Amino acid sequence: MPDSIRTKAIFHGTVQGVGFRAITRHQAGSFQVTGTVRNLPDGTVELIAEGSPDQVQRFIASVEEALRHRIEFVDRCDSQATDEFTTFQIT
């Protein structure tokens, strides 16, 4: 993807056991993004998304909006896309 970015977001709050990953995967279908979402052992959820800056930003904003009552805060880090993903999946 030309001019694509990779955003890693760690969601803190009541984010496991509430359908967070399924909702995130569903939201991804509305955007041109690839990546993954997974539960981490410390009770957080990690989302990695790659795509154009606009698509990634809008996707993560849609996840934050859909799950705003579950999220306390989000740690985000942007970098250059690696193109390691071909779809968006739950891992």
Active-site residue list: 21, 39
Residue ranges with strand state E in the chain: 5-13, 33-39, 45-51, 71-80, 88-90
First to last CA, the chain: 22
